[in-house]
Amino acid sequence: MKLDDELAVAHRLADAAREAIRPHFRKASAEFKGDASPVTVADREAEDAMRRILMAEYAQDGIVGEEYPEHEGRSGRQWVLDPIDGTISFLAGRPIFGTLIALLQDGWPVLGIIDQPIIGERWVGRIGMPTTLNGREVRTRSCKSLDAAVLATSSPHYFDAHGADAYMKLAHAVGGNKRQGMIVYGGDCYNYGLLASGQLDIVCESGLKLFDYAALVPVVEGAGGTMSDWQGNPLDAESDGSVIALGDPARLEDVLEALGA
């Protein structure tokens, strides 16, 4: 599965989203959707721009995006778009949000891009190929134990009560009682790019939607890491939104045991 043509289009999608987002950075104000989550004109313009390209190039494929209704395809493939993953960071003027672009085949992620429009960093993963950052191959790093890991999550406030309890058990295993591990908050999709580049060891989140995690899987796994739900199952279109990303797959059982989920 080479996906050369699809990758070229995915780069065009990311370029179009960048062009739509950059003029609004540190200028846009928030609106609020029915679920009270924030959205900006940049979110909508970026998704509009990407959808126009896809409807011209791959109208037979489905499109799932955060801001607009699903486009039903007939090919067994879906493009999954999150124009700004980390809208709160975007609104706060922090360049740690990203545009997420994924291609799914029969529900499984086969291509993913994490693009940071302001810094100009772009991670690309596709099945069977090494992950790249701005065209250069990147790799995750080894992690000898949880108490030596760097753990990241966007915010502990995003967990429900059960998830928060499980996460705090993991956080204690990493950084409690004067252990050597460290914990980082904030970052959304940017954390997964950093993990793929060997800067972080674990990312743990829950309550994610398909457009939040689909693009991350090829990026992390193409760099030598692994992603799963909190039961250790691979992530696909039917996953429950609980997410673990590991730079060193050997730590998966340790993380699952610590979560006790």
Compute the average pLDDT of residues 227-244.
Answer: 98
For 186-218, what is each residue's pLDDT tens digit?
999 999 999 999 999 999 999 999 999 999 999
- Residue 84 annotated as part of some ligand binding site: yes
- Residue 183 annotated as part of some ligand binding site: no
Domain 3-137 has CATH 3.30.540.10: yes
First-last CA distance in the chain: 35
For 146-186, what is each residue's pLDDT tens digit?
999 999 999 988 999 999 999 999 999 998 766 778 999 99
- Residue 147 annotated as part of some ligand binding site: no
Sketch the domain layout of the chain as residue ranges.
3-137, 146-259
Q: 146-259: same fold as 3-137?
A: no
Torsion angle of C-alpha atoms 244, 121, 88, 258, degrees rounded to 10? 20
- Residue 118 annotated as part of some ligand binding site: no
What's residue 187's pLDDT? Answer: 94
Compute the average pLDDT of residues 232-241.
Answer: 98
What's residue 180's pLDDT? Answer: 78
For 6-46, what is each residue's pLDDT tens digit?
999 999 999 999 999 999 999 999 999 888 889 999 999 99
- Residue 202 annotated as part of some ligand binding site: no
Structural fold of domain 146-259: D-Maltodextrin-Binding Protein; domain 2 (3.40.190)
For 43-97, what is each residue's pLDDT tens digit?
999 999 999 999 999 999 999 999 999 999 999 999 999 999 999 999 999 999 9
